[in-house]
Amino acid sequence: MAYSIDFSDIWPRLPYLLGGAWLSLQIAFLAFCGGMVIGLFGAMAQAFGGPWVRRPVDAYVSLFTNTPQLVQIYFIFFALPDWGVLLSPYHAVLIGMTLNAGAYLTQIQRAGFASVHRPEIEAAETLGFSKLQSVRYVILPHIMRTLFPPLSNLYILMTLGTSMAAVFGVEELTGRAFNVNSETFRSIEVFSLTAVVYILITFVATFLLAGAGRKLFRARMNVF
Amino acid sequence: MLQQLFDAAPRFFSYYNILFLLQALVATFLLSLVGCVLGFLLGFVLAVTRRTTGWRMAPLRALVVTYTEAFRRIPFLVTLMLVFFAFQAARLDTSVFVVALCSVCLIATAFIAEIVRSGLDSVHRNQWDAATAMNLSYLQTLRYVVVPQAWKVMLPPAFSFFVLFIKDTALASQIGVIELTFAGKVMANKGFPAALTFGTVLVLYFALSWPLARFGRWMEARLAPARAR
């Protein structure tokens, strides 16, 4: 007997899935913001710091960008309790994703910092700007234009990365899809609907980010 | 707590456990490598299709655009599940490794098609026009004019996508492919401390990915066009 596609059990559960999508977006947003802060300080440390500041940051970046996010969260979730750090699945995922995003964002922002011309930073110094001021008023406005496309790209990838949380039992979009799957056994229907929801939410994010990038930073962004 | 790790270490690093972990490492590497090589070939075909002109190819072009835009926006875990259950529904009796390989291939095709497309776009318009003026066909243009210039632009990002995907294949452990993360889970279930097993797994991933990432950066610097150097 061939498998017959039947969505009738799935449609009533669509709002439940969409609730999960909202949680996915929240996780991605929080992890991205946290990662942005880590990344900014990491890039600043690599641009201005001495070797004893740069080396730990380099180690952090290459450690987190060369190992899978899933195993990092496994480590946080299963190994840290041995040292007395007990985290809920949600928090373990959030911390793991933030640290992982921080490493990638350090890399991206370092490349941005390197693209600023030396005389501009010297000019800021001549005007008596402190390091923080020159980052805030000279470097950031300058590099956001070139940095915005890779940043929004990473944000989309991170939204997809939140599906990993399902492995730890967090009920975001994929987690809820697993729940619906075990209730209805309509596997192909559930997961194709989930895929469509992911496509839609990332498309919306892409369009919004491209609009924001063009308006705020005059970034050149093509959606297609 | 560290004492616990030291106590478990001799039992953990026994000959067969090390063999098991190394085999799992090879599986991880092959999953990503084979998937990305197939993905490169298919992605190349897709990108070439997308650059065609003329109304006869229009439905194919629409198909290619839909495919690349959709599959770059589906999480790997969801693709895995879809392929897994689709194989099940089609009554195909294959190993989970093949299922994971197909999912890697699906995703890699979509991403690499975009990389190849930007590589083809990087060749200046005048070159395309000149080839047309010389009465080269589309395939001849690609073969003799565009690809010899564009492969330098396509190869580094395609390679770094491959290195990136080594880490994403960790999710294949969810459908039971015996790769590195799965091996780590097996070891943790056998009662070894989680810090030891997952620490080892992290180190092995690092040992695989870091040299490849370094090589990728070296290749990128090496292949960069003279004006960008």
pLDDT at A24 over 50: yes
Contact B38, B111 (CB under 8 A): no
- CA pair distance A110, B109, nearest whole angstrom: 30
With an 8 Å Cβ cutoff, are B213 and A188 in contact? no
Task: Out of B70, B90, B170, name the one closest to residue A199 (CB).
Answer: B70
Of A58-67, B4-13, B140-149, the one with minimum mean pLDDT is B4-13
Q: What percent of chain B has pLDDT over 70?
A: 97
ipTM strictly over 0.85? yes
With an 8 Å Cβ cutoff, are B205 and A66 in contact? yes
Question: What's the rounded mean pLDDT across residues A184-202?
Answer: 91
Secondary structure class of B74 (helix, strand, coil):
coil
Question: What's the rounded mean pLDDT across residues A108-131?
Answer: 85
Indicate the pLDDT class of residue A219, thresholds 50, 70 and 90.
confident
Residue A6 placed within a domain:
no
Task: Out of A62, A75, A192, name the one closest to residue B210 (CB).
Answer: A62
Residue A136 placed within a domain:
yes
Can you give the pLDDT at residue A67?
A: 92
A174: CATH:
1.10.3720.10
Give me chain A's average pLDDT, please: 88
- Tokens coding B81: 């599940």
A128: closest CA of chain B, how far (Å): 33
Span B50-73, pLDDT tens digits: 988 888 888 999 999 999 999 999
Contact B73, B111 (CB under 8 A): no
CATH top class, domain B2-224: mainly alpha
For residue A37, count other CB atoms closer than 10 A to its CB.
Answer: 12
Say what the pTM is.
0.88
Residue A7 placed within a domain:
no
Indicate the pLDDT class of residue A183, thresholds 50, 70 and 90.
confident
- CA pair distance A76, A80, nearest whole angstrom: 5
Can you give the pLDDT at residue A1?
A: 55
Can you give the pLDDT at residue B37?
A: 93
Residue A224 placed within a domain:
no
Terminal Cα distance for chain A, rounded? 42
Can you give the pLDDT at residue A135?
A: 82
Span A26-61, pLDDT tens digits: 999 999 999 999 999 999 898 888 888 899 999 999
Contact B86, A195 (CB under 8 A): no
Span B82-128, pLDDT tens digits: 999 998 888 888 888 999 999 999 999 999 999 999 999 888 889 98
Number of domains observed in the structure of chain A = 1
Residue A41 placed within a domain:
yes
Q: In terms of residue numbers, what domain contains A132?
A: 12-76+83-217
Indicate the pLDDT class of residue B229, thresholds 50, 70 and 90.
very low
- Buried b / exposed e across B185-219, counting CB within 10 Å, b at 16+? bbbbeeebbbbbbbbbbbebbbebbbebbeebeee
Task: Out of A67, A82, A194, name the one closest to residue B205 (CB).
Answer: A67
CB contact set of B57 (below 8 Å; sequence gap of 6+): B49
